[in-house]
Structure 1
Amino acid sequence: MIGQAPTTRRQAVAKVMWIVVWLIYFAGPVAELFGEDHSVATRVLGATGLGLFVVTYFVVVFRHMWRTQTRAGLYSALAVMLVMSTVLAWFLGPNWLVLFIFTSVASGVVLPWEEARWTIPVATVLLLAVGMRFPEIRGYYLFAYGLPAMGSGYTMVGVQYLIRTTKELRAAREEVARLAANEERLRMARDLHDLLGHSLSLITLKSELAGRMLPGTPEAAAQQVADIERVSRQALVDVREAVTGYRRATLAVELAGARAALRTAGITATVDPALESGPRGLPSDEEGALAWALREAVTNVVRHSGARRCELLLTEEWEADERRYLRLAVLDDGAGPPRAQHDGNGLGGLRERLALADGRLETGPAPGGRGFALHAYVPLGTPAPSAADEPATLP
């Protein structure tokens, strides 16, 4: 992803290939170098100079990607590239003016805007000055070399600015998530304190009172013990209700989390409009079961499938028992289920959660034979028959 260092060999190869592909523009200088107009000594010196230029270019760009460089080292490398561009183009021909474009691009990549806005025009002006030496290209070299040098350099400045902005945005999101987690932790601590503080204080006082009443007045001590049991049971109910409220999942919240997880994993998500709008009138237990199913299914897609696309569907279906069900389907185009398929802890717990809501879970290969499909069903209330549908009663 943009603004992130490669974490796998595949990502590193992709970034390297994105840089290497532009070397195709050296085809002109290489073809001219090995033409019939140059001697063997000129070819050797030209090939050596071109190789040194390419090595310097890659060192500057790759070191900038993976580590911080000193300002003196950057300017020294860019100066070497500029001098070599001038010398090679002056003595070997107009096709070598393309080296100035690479110098301009390197300036836009490794230098901040405050400095690159001067070095890019310098490289472009020097390109135009050297190009005046070749009368055969004076009619078009400004457009063939000058404008690309200026435009490519400033384009890379924009790309670097986008990368820095992306890094700052990603850091800001991480900070917001951390602050939100801290705030939720504090809110939970406050709620638990409010729920348990009074109850535990009362239990402590009644325990001390019951201890003082024994063994003189056992009846009064028994009453205090009964009060302790009542208060502790009520405190346990309050805590369970609070924890249930924290853990209650909704389709809207889980859909937002699923989108973020799939986008982060580089998986294209296709979401049914019915799922985006959300089911209306669905009881909280059934909606919670579908929300947990969506979370578990997307987690498996991200972790295990290796998929490129994922489809999320929400439909209503009538079963053979004349019951109406709401079906959540999660389909991917990944590796598919293993041959010896068995439910792990996640799917096993999901089956149990759906069973509590009188629903069921079905898994298997996706349509077409490639990928994995998860279907979660929860029942919907059957609409009451209208008066027109009721059989007429005989008088």
Structure 2
Amino acid sequence: MTEDRQTSDALDNPMGRPPRTRRELWVKLLWIGVWLVFLSSPVQDLADGHHGTGATWGGALGLTAFVGVYLSLVFRNMGRPYSGRLVIVLLLVLGVLAPLLAYTLGAAWLGLFVYLSVACGATLPPRATYWAIPASAALMYLVGLHTGEAEARDLLLLVVLIGFAMVGVGQLVRTTVELRKARATVAQLAANEERLRLARDLHDLLGHSLSLITLKSELAGRMLPGQPEKAAQQVADIERVSRQALVDVREAVTGYRRPRLAAELAGAQVALTAAGVAAETPAEPDLTGVPEEAEAVLAWTLREAVTNVVRHSGADRCSVELLRRQTLDGPVLELTVQDNGSGGSGTLPGNGLTGLTERLEKAGGTLEAGRAGRGFRLVARVPAATAADVGSGA
């Protein structure tokens, strides 16, 4: 949990979305403010008084408009994002103001083309920047031929490099946004998977226990009032089963329960006998080398299969076999549950069989279920050795 929180904090940065806190706003303002260093030359040029009053006021108004448009483009994802058409219009405004101010007021204003290049790299699609940024640099150099070729030559490479650097930053922002969306999707899928696991556990736990409680309740009812002692024994069994079901549900909710195959075999014998079904179950199974996950999923399978026999089959005989077999994929442990009943009603697999199939697939096993002669047969197979044992030839 701590590692997930650290990963979340590392990915949850303000790139690619509007600032949500005052701190994020100041970080973004500082990042943008660094780029305003190139405005020092135009501001100094206006302050030195090299131009007439009209030119000074015109330059100040033009510079204000240029910076306002530039900042609005940079902050375009705050509030309601700009449409693509509005972005193009604002870029054209910058593309007009930059050469106009630099051509009329001198070489000190050539730095405005840096902002034009940055705006193109930050707002245009990557394919459009391949011509827009070089075009900005070429336009600056053409204006520089009139106002100051040396200054234009010094800025030429900088305009191109900074523009394409912003393309890389934009790609990083898009990747961060996609990663944030993917992280949210993974979290949602994990939550769905956990809910599905809990639903399977509760179905398997409560379906078996409630079926047994129902059977014993019916037996107790038939035994009263003629056989009160036997009825009392059935009631005691009901209490024991209900208490155990409550413990199982709590353990399943916390995610720590691993059913044991030996315990489920004993429980299957009790459940089938209580339902009036003649049961044939194996003795204590040999689970040497069987992974815990494989044992647990076989235990779930046995519990669900016996529950189906008791509730749906109408059978009077049921056999349970547990065998080790050698296959081309390695040793497997095979569980077979077969009855002589009708197999229940309906043609589609129920929630129980669907859940068992999912469990077995996760453990690397398989499930076969269907009519067999005059009854119903379920066969579940799981690997009888870990991947390390198979690799070492054990």
Please give the range of the TM-score, normalised by the shorter of the 2 chains. 0.5 to 0.7
Confirm or deny that 1:60 pairs with 2:73.
yes
Using the alignment, how far apart are the partners of 2:194 and 2:49 within structure 1?
Answer: 76
Using the alignment, how far apart are the partners of 2:257 and 2:238 within structure 1?
Answer: 28
Aligned counterpart, 2:209: 199
> Considering only CA atoms, is the larger Rg found in Structure 1 or Structure 2?
2
Task: Report if aligned partners of 1:49, 1:84 keep a CA contact under 8 Å in 2.
Answer: yes
1:42 aligned to which of 41, 46, 55 = 55
Which segment is superposed worse, 234-243 or 170-179? Answer: 234-243
1:125 aligned to which of 138, 143, 161 = 138
Aligned counterpart, 2:182: 172
Aligned counterpart, 2:160: 150
Task: Report if aligned partners of 2:62, 2:101 keep a CA contact under 8 Å in 1.
Answer: yes
2:236 aligned to which of 226, 249, 263 = 226
TM-score, normalising length from structure 1? 0.58
Confirm or deny that 1:185 pairs with 2:195.
yes
Aligned counterpart, 2:125: 112
Unmatched 5+ residue regions in structure 2? 1-12, 259-394
Give 1:306-385 correspondences, 5 Å limit: none
Aligned counterpart, 2:43: 30
Which of the pair has the greater relative contact order for Cα pairs under 8 Å at 6+ separation? 2
1:239 aligned to which of 249, 252, 261 = 249
CA offsets 1:44-89 (integer angstroms, 9 cap, x no match): 1111111111111112221244432222211111111111111111
Using the alignment, how far apart are the partners of 1:245 and 1:45 within structure 2?
Answer: 73
Aligned counterpart, 2:152: 141
Task: Report if aligned partners of 2:110, 2:140 keep a CA contact under 8 Å in 1.
Answer: yes
Supply the RMSD in Å over aligned alpha carbons: 2.1
Q: 1:66 to 1:108 in 2, by over 3 A?
A: farther
**C-alpha deviation, 1:7, in angstroms:** 1.2
Task: Report if aligned partners of 1:60, 1:74 keep a CA contact under 8 Å in 2.
Answer: yes
Task: Report if aligned partners of 2:206, 2:245 keep a CA contact under 8 Å in 1.
Answer: yes
**C-alpha deviation, 1:245, in angstroms:** 4.2
Q: 1:244 to 1:78 in 2, by over 3 A?
A: closer
SS of 1:133's equivalent? helix
Aligned counterpart, 1:78: 91
Aligned counterpart, 1:160: 170
Task: Report if aligned partners of 2:224, 2:231 keep a CA contact under 8 Å in 1.
Answer: yes
**C-alpha deviation, 1:10, in angstroms:** 2.3
Letter in 2 for 1:166: T
Unmatched 5+ residue regions in structure 1? 249-395
Q: 1:244 to 1:55 in 2, by over 3 A?
A: closer
Letter in 2 for 1:128: Y
Confirm or deny that 1:11 pairs with 2:24.
yes
CA offsets 1:337-363 (integer angstroms, 9 cap, x no match): xxxxxxxxxxxxxxxxxxxxxxxxxxx
Q: 1:156 to 1:232 in 2, by over 3 A?
A: same
Using the alignment, how far apart are the partners of 2:60 and 2:34 within structure 1?
Answer: 19
SS of 1:132's equivalent? helix
**C-alpha deviation, 1:188, in angstroms:** 1.8
Q: 1:76 to 1:237 in 2, by over 3 A?
A: closer
CA offsets 1:254-287 (integer angstroms, 9 cap, x no match): xxxxxxxxxxxxxxxxxxxxxxxxxxxxxxxxxx
Task: Report if aligned partners of 1:33, 1:92 keep a CA contact under 8 Å in 2.
Answer: no
Using the alignment, how far apart are the partners of 1:117 and 1:66 within structure 2?
Answer: 29
**C-alpha deviation, 1:140, in angstroms:** 5.4
Letter in 2 for 1:182: N
SS of 1:117's equivalent? helix
Task: Report if aligned partners of 1:64, 1:110 keep a CA contact under 8 Å in 2.
Answer: no
**C-alpha deviation, 1:158, in angstroms:** 0.8
Letter in 1 for 2:216: K
CA offsets 1:351-390 (integer angstroms, 9 cap, x no match): xxxxxxxxxxxxxxxxxxxxxxxxxxxxxxxxxxxxxxxx
Q: Percent identity over the alignment?
A: 55
TM-score, normalising length from structure 2? 0.58
Q: 1:155 to 1:247 in 2, by over 3 A?
A: farther
SS of 1:216's equivalent? coil
- State the number of aligned residues: 245
Letter in 1 for 2:215: L
Using the alignment, how far apart are the partners of 1:200 and 1:171 within structure 2?
Answer: 43
Using the alignment, how far apart are the partners of 1:234 and 1:167 within structure 2?
Answer: 49
Using the alignment, how far apart are the partners of 1:148 and 1:65 within structure 2?
Answer: 28
Give 1:289-304 correspondences, 5 Å limit: none
